[in-house]
Chain A
Amino acid sequence: MAAAEFLLELRCEEIPARMQAKASEDLARLFTERLADAGLTPDRITSYVTPRRLALIAHGLPLQTEAVSEEFKGPRTSAPDQALDGFLRKTGLTKDQLQDRDGVWFAVVERPGRATADVLAEAVPAVIRAFPWPKSMRWGDASTSTESLRWVRPLQGIVAIFGDDLVPCSVDGVESGFATLGHRFHHLGVITIGNAHDYAEKLRACHVIVDAQERAQIIEERAKALAAAAGLSLIEDAGLVAENAGLTEWPVPLLGWFDPAFLDVPPEVIQLTLRTNQKYFVLRDAAGKLAPAFICTANIEAKDGGAAIVAGNGKVLAARLSDARFFWEQDKKTPLAVHAEKLGRITFHEKLGTVADKVERVAKLARWLASPDSETGKAVVPGCDPDLAEQAARLCKADLVTEMVGEFPELQGLMGGYYARAEGLPDAVADAIRDHYKPVGQGDDVPTAPVTVAVSLADKLDSFHEFFGSDMQPTGSKDPFALRRTGLGIIALMTVNGVRYPVGDAHGQWDFIVDRLKVQQREAGVRHDVIDAVVSLGGENLIVRLLARVHALQSFIATEDGANLLAGYKRAANILKKEERDPTITPAAPSEPAEAALASALESAEPRADAAIAAEDFEGAMAALATLRAPIDGFFETVTVNAPEQEKRSARLALLERVRVAVHKVADFSKIEG
């Protein structure tokens, strides 16, 4: 069948870089859906996006849609007239056009093929009107009505060409045509596009590279080459490459230098200034240190080779870096302890007081976590100096009131660490201040330095206890205080460092932590039903002990002994569910050898399991239970529980109860699936 290419270009004022990739996908998706509704499927779609245009080419579209014959089953011919009338309305046919097939009306609706050009002329406005921009706006004369077309920024032109022919359409006064614009500064007149085949090349000739991938590649390759030529290496940053590709139609990376004196400022600050504020690439020297250089990406092939652009960008950067250096030097003039005094001005939460109040609580908790218990002589966080823990906790939020963190909030913690070191505080304190927000998410480093662990844990436990205590726990999808993440952080700190901190069950805190544990452990391959089997025993408040038991249990049920014991347990539990033991009947002494064997196995296994559990040797406890497996199997093979003699039956049921109780010392096996 004859086929042709369709070219669509929607040109508008600059589209935000961050929205371009999604918009390009949305255009292809919406357009394909519209075509599919008309029975059209292109061979493939090519998508292009620049700051000023969204474009696509649909390859291999047939010139006509296929004729379709649709068949609808209607009411019985004997049905009342109302039913028939409804059917006629629905199909748009008259009664004499219907077919009577064995007493049932059938309608056959013929839809002739349509010219694809007509389908396209309808699809373009429909796609434009339905476009899901994350934020859109009105503009110009039409905006006198709030019903006017919305687009991400003013829509200025539509190119719609099928084969070599214009697809005439218009949306809110913007009419389709052959004309588009090239680069904003390099090409001033209009460009006439002939068809899909010459689109990309005609625009390239007018300084527009329509393919975002190609622009990204140019930026990356030239930036690397510039770095290499200067004896430096580029710190790779795919996000920044994409962002610059979204800010340019003709990307030209340029390398410039800044005053090396600025390198006194912490490298993270310089990187943030370059990257976030200016969208510059950051470079390293041969020794791996931050180099006093930057690469910016211009959108023009400048007449002077870029000298003015590099000079201008260098000047802007110098102003920004001197601000940063000013903050750095200004902040260092005041000890963190003095900065911390200002925390009383910052509200932590209206019901929970100021950040100063929080710091006070965290300091006490950190000291307590690090202090030896008066009975056991052991601290919750072992090997931690309580004085250092308290000192670090008192200073950990002080950088929130510094100029630098005011400017770059994402540097919280990190700057505090730098300032602490600069004023000569112990490394353990500086490290704890720097890292106390960690771990921030799954996969983030979990602190292990004792002082850091104490402060980080105290900070998170405080938030956790305080918000739960004030009934502000997460509900459904709402978690405004990020307590789920806090919970995961607490679990990670406890498990990695073996911290034995009892989590109380007030306000559902224990259940919440266990839920988080299931989420966290799922990734590590731990079954949630195995966690349930341990949790449902109750009485646990230590995450590390809970997890040790869970791990031992999961390993055990994977062994042959474990699997068979589980099967035996379930059989016993089923019998006990059905059969009731009359407590007034005195059980008989064991009459069968298997009965006696099981009783004696229990006799020896029970104290062993108890002792192992008391010593938190859960493998040992499992091993003790494993000794029951053979006697249980033997019991079920040779002994009839429902013996006619009530005394024997009672004795055997009691024995099974004892099995269940013994197994429950380790876990509630009934919760284990399979």
Chain B
Amino acid sequence: MAETVGILSFQDLILTLHDYWSKQGCVILQPYDMEVGAGTFHPATTLRSLGPQPWNAAYVQPSRRPTDGRYGENPNRLQHYYQYQVIMKPSPPDLQELYLGSLAAIGIDPLVHDIRFVEDDWESPTLGAWGLGWEVWCDGMEVTQFTYFQQMGGFDCKPVAGELTYGLERLAMYIQGVDSVYDLAFNTPVNGKPAVTYGDVFLANEQQMSKWNFEVADTEKLFRWFRDAEAECQASIAAGVPLAAYDQAIKASHVFNLLQARGVISVQERASYIGRVRDLAKGSCEAWIAHNKAGWEAQFPGWSI
């Protein structure tokens, strides 16, 4: 690590990235207050990547992947973890350099560590979205997903947004040189008090939520929640409130993930559930576009869907 910044705690890593991206003109948002599988689901990425308006934002998003739960026993896998998300629209010409600047800011020296852009195209069947880009490797470890969005909700991105998704725990483990996520220093020791570890904060959560995700969650209710969210999403689309509709699409997507963790969705049904979630996400995007189209066209002459 470069000596200048010292070894960052988990929270200082986040604060450093906030500081860095704030200086690049990003609005620093707070996490979306709903359960999502990835930072991309935050409406600040999904919906804001549509339409012609410039948009630059950065935020941390807690991400829930019920099937990745390991009851707190696996040092690398969590059912709840954090992504650091940057979205810049239109993608700036120097986005790679900006990104590398963020690595330098958190103390990664590219003449000591081997940074590589390795092909990895991104696709989200549930969002009807895809893009081209890379996974960024640092000494053979994937630390960031770097994507130029081409489509969202089935619509062309005009203009294209650049999206960066950092896996915060992984990056922090690398910077701190620890082998288990639970050993991460969450903060820096102050006044002789030992640092709080990631395990102090989240181990019990992983243990209990893994049990709930895999064993406890009432599947009858989950199925009902899915149907309810689906109906509510459709009703909200009809009522012309696309942001509310999108919330329900997110909810349906998460409930579907829970149903998968409970192992009650057969392989055959899986594709049909993904299709239903995609229809909700696409429908919400479509409604969002319909809601804003006139304004966008007025503000950006010549722009069209």
Contacts and interface: CB of A to CB of B under 8 A. Distances in A.
Given A308-B139, A345-B267, A300 B117 contact: no
A395 interface: no
Interface stretch (B90-98, B208-216, B242-250): B90-98
A316 B139 contact: yes
B160 A302 contact: no
A333 B133 CA distance: 40
Interface residues of B, number: 45
B140 A137 contact: no
Contacts of B78: none
Contact of A143 (B112, B115, B157): B157
A143 B160 contact: yes
A350 B157 CA distance: 36
Most chain A CB atoms below 10 A, which of B138, B158, B160, B303: B160
B10 interface: no
Interface in B257-289: 266-268
B156 interface: yes
Contacts of B85: none
Interface in B75-100: 75-76, 90-93, 96, 100
Contacts of B115: 184-185, 299
B117 A141 contact: no
Contacts of B119: 14, 16-18
Interface in A113-137: 135-137
B190 to A, nearest CB: 29
Given A140-B93, A300-B110, A145 B140 contact: no
A299 B116 CA distance: 8
B159 A141 contact: yes
Contact of A13 (B96, B113, B140, B179): B96
Given A153-B132, A319-B76, A308 B113 contact: yes
Interface in A168-187: 184-186
B140 A296 contact: yes
A278 B158 contact: no
Most chain B CB atoms below 10 A, which of A139, A186, A298: A139
A189 to B, nearest CB: 13
Contact of B139 (A17, A152, A312, A323): A312
B52 A144 contact: yes
A299 B114 contact: yes
B150 A317 contact: no
A514 B288 CA distance: 58
A474 interface: no
B158 A144 contact: yes
A292 interface: no
Contact of A304 (B112, B131, B162, B300): B112
A533 B100 CA distance: 70
Contacts of A303: 109, 111-112
A397 to B, nearest CB: 14
B93 A154 contact: yes
B140 A300 contact: no
A16 B121 CA distance: 10
A135 B133 CA distance: 11
B148 interface: yes
Contact of A347 (B76, B159, B267): B267
B141 A298 contact: no
A468 B158 CA distance: 47
Contacts, number: 129
A313 interface: yes
Interface in B160-177: 160, 162, 174
Contacts of B92: 140
A156 B266 contact: no
A185 B111 contact: yes
B267 A346 contact: yes
Contacts of A185: 110-111, 115
B201 interface: no
B77 to A, nearest CB: 9
Interface in B101-145: 109-119, 121, 131-134, 138-141
B140 A317 contact: yes
B158 A143 contact: yes
Contact of A302 (B114, B138, B268): B114
Given A313-B140, A316-B141, A139 B114 contact: no
Contacts of B90: 139-141, 143-144
A247 interface: yes
Contacts of B116: 247-248, 299
A146 interface: yes
B148 A139 contact: yes
Nearest to A298: B114
Contacts of B157: 138, 143
Interface string A235-256: 0000000000001100000000
Contacts of B112: 302-304, 308-309
Contacts of A308: 112-113, 139
B150 A137 contact: yes
Nearest to A156: B93
A416 interface: no
Interface in A185-242: 185-186
B113 A135 contact: no
B54 to A, nearest CB: 10
Nearest to B110: A185
Nearest to B113: A308
B158 A14 contact: no
B303 to A, nearest CB: 6
A144 B158 CA distance: 4
Interface string B225-251: 000000000000000000000000000
B136 to A, nearest CB: 10
A413 interface: no
Nearest to B305: A146
Contacts of A296: 114, 140
A51 interface: yes
A143 B300 CA distance: 14
Given A16-B119, A308-B112, A137 B160 contact: yes
B138 A247 contact: no
B303 A144 contact: yes
B160 A139 contact: yes
B149 to A, nearest CB: 9
B111 A13 contact: no
Contact of B111 (A140, A142, A186, A315): A186
Given A51-B117, A300-B114, A137 B148 contact: yes
Contact of B91 (A139, A145, A311): A139
Contacts of A146: 156, 158
Contact of B150 (A138, A312, A345): A138
Interface in A297-349: 298-300, 302-304, 308-309, 311-313, 315-319, 323, 326, 345-347
Given A303-B111, A319-B76, 5 more contacts: A135-B121, A140-B91, A184-B115, A185-B115, A347-B267
7 contacts: A14-B117, A14-B119, A146-B158, A299-B116, A309-B112, A313-B139, A316-B141
Closest 3 CB pairs of A and B: A312-B139, A16-B119, A14-B117
Interface of A: 13-14, 16-18, 51, 135-146, 152-154, 156, 184-186, 247-248, 278, 280, 296, 298-300, 302-304, 308-309, 311-313, 315-319, 323, 326, 345-347, 350
